[in-house]
Amino acid sequence: RKEVEQDPGPFNVPEGATVAFNCTYSNSASQSFFWYRQDCRKEPKLLMSVYSSGNEDGRFTAQLNRASQYISLLIRDSKLSDSATYLCVVKGNNDMRFGAGTRLTVKP
Amino acid sequence: DAGVIQSPRHEVTEMGQEVTLRCKPISGHDYLFWYRQTMMRGLELLIYFNNNVPIDDSGMPEDRFSAKMPNASFSTLKIQPSEPRDSAVYFCASNNGGGRGYTFGSGTRLTVV
């Protein structure tokens, strides 16, 4: 079983749609959680951290369920510029483990 | 801040040749990570350093791979001899510990023919 599992997609949605990505992780001792965004042929970039209480950054909402070892990302009112691969990331003591990513394409 | 700087951006080499990838972390970051990304395996952690000391190299695929960090501002990842299956994008990342995420460099796209 992979340490971090994501639905690879692709998700193809129209502009303005709401889309949700899910992720599960296997190591119950994981301490920190993140969503990264990666554009084609670019490096991954931090989108947001994920906290147990849930957190929001504009159109983006992240949730963490430690009991179920489950992380989610919700994107509201999606824009063309949201098209990218979204990587779920789980951190132990110091090293981060990445999911394979979920590809999102937002279409006009 | 210049961010994490990697060189070269692209490298094409013949099988059997030695390849050296370079990374300069963000100043003040005391953790440095080397990742490899392929379509088949995604992002894999190869090795990471803390205060220039290798902490976990369990992700290094085999003895052909080696990494060093002679000082706080420079690290190398060396492949000798290189093989076609080493073709991938190699990323370097750094952070200053705690629960923070990493900052990645732009990567080195390696092609071994």
Name the residue of chain A whose CA is nearest to B39's CA.
Answer: A100
pLDDT of residue A52: 84
CB-based contact, B30 to chain A, within 8 Å: no
Structure tokens at A97: 């483990």
Averaged pLDDT for residues B74-88: 97
User: What are the respective helix, strand and coil percentages of chain B, to the nearest 5?
Assistant: 5, 55, 40
Q: Say if residue B64's pLDDT is above 70.
A: yes
| pLDDT higher than threshold 90 for residue A79 | yes
Give mean pLDDT, residues B89-101.
Answer: 89
What is the per-residue pLDDT for B98? 74
Beta bridge partners of B66: B78
Give residue A19's pLDDT. 96
Is residue A37 within 8 A of residue A81, CB to CB? The reply is no
- At residue A94, does pLDDT exceed 80? no
Q: Do A97 and B91 touch (CB under 8 A)?
A: no
Estimate to the nearest angstrom the gap between the alpha carbon of B77 and the chain centroid.
5
Check whether A59 has a pLDDT greater than 90. Answer: yes
Query: CA A4, A1, A12, B39 torsion: positive or negative?
Result: positive
Question: What mean pLDDT is reported for chain B?
Answer: 94
Least CB–CB distance from A94: residue in B48, B104, B105: B48
pLDDT band per the 50, 70, 90 thresholds, residue A68: very high
Q: Do the beta carbons of residue B43 and residue B37 sit within 8 Å?
A: yes
CB B79 within 8 A of CB B63: no
Residue A36 contacts residue A45 (beta carbons within 8 Å): yes
Q: Rounded mean pLDDT of A86-108?
A: 91
**Residue A51 confidence class, pLDDT cut points 50, 70, 90:** confident
Interface of A with B (CB under 8 A): 31-32, 34, 36, 42-46, 49, 87, 89, 91, 94-101
Q: Does B31 touch chain A (CB under 8 A)?
A: yes
The sign of the dihedral angle between the CA atoms of A45, A51, A56, A57 is negative
Asked if pLDDT for residue B99 goes beyond 80, the answer is no
Chain B residue with Cα closest to A5? B42
Which residues on neighbouring strands pair with residue B93, listed in sequence order? Answer: B33, B104
Q: Is the pLDDT score of A101 beyond 80? A: yes
**How many beta-carbon contacts under 8 Å exist across A and B?**
45
Chain A residues with CB under 8 Å of B104 CB are 43-45
In this structure, what token pair is assigned to residue B43?
Answer: 């992002």
**How many CB atoms neighbour CB B58 within 10 A?**
8
Under a CB-based contact definition with an 8 Å cutoff, are residues A73 and A61 in contact? yes
Q: Are B3 and B102 in contact (CB under 8 A)?
A: no
CB contact under 8 A, A44 and B91: yes
Q: Quick check: A93 pLDDT over 80?
A: no
Which residues of chain B are within 8 Å of residue A23 when distances are taken between CB atoms? none
